[in-house]
A and B are shown apart, each in its own frame.
Chain A
């Protein structure tokens, strides 16, 4: 009895195509994973200065009193990170002593809510 050769050939062809699909898929998946890593690194280099610590953000007003970081947009991102770290340390310092440093200037007079008094000076 002759072997069903066409059936075997079709099975072999099917397996070959499946293997080809699988190989291509794994290749693309690996390439995509590598591309993700490379893109992440590229973004980190192209857009630095995204480090953010909640403690630094809380202390931002303390730092802003001496030098407002948002007002100096021309500085490099690294100096921004350094400022944030410095602000974080300042916040730690304030928290440890539970005290606020005395103001260096007298507060500005608050605007009066009552209408100005006008005197006629006469009767």
Chain B
């Protein structure tokens, strides 16, 4: 990461927690976790709460659907780090055959209509938000997506348009492809949560 404070500026309790998490999981916590643990009253505390709610809270979308939307948004934002992690979480939760190539060719990749309609909406949401129109919403509804599910998908777009920019600006790095798979597996297991005491 480009800011040393996110590695070395953590308070002692969180430095120890990072070390313990690393020992238990067999590798250091990823850069999103480190960023969340640094001065959590500024960012990490509300961020982790929102992230858990959006990615694993009650929704019409399965965790796997949500991981696909996350990977897709990250690809649109050319976020190498988040694509690496969330293609792997999508493999674990939705479809082991998912690849970056299928994300890039999403219109012909065999996704069901509800998913396709949301990918189309997320593309505009991410690349041309001012062009989102009434017709776009009606198209997603016509594909059988409820308003609650539309709002949930937009919030996945929200959190990933945020974290993709952090990852790109601060140069998040997941290490090797094997490390990315390990990080994805941990993320899936802990459901985007961190122990509350570390965020206070």
- Do A and B assemble together? no
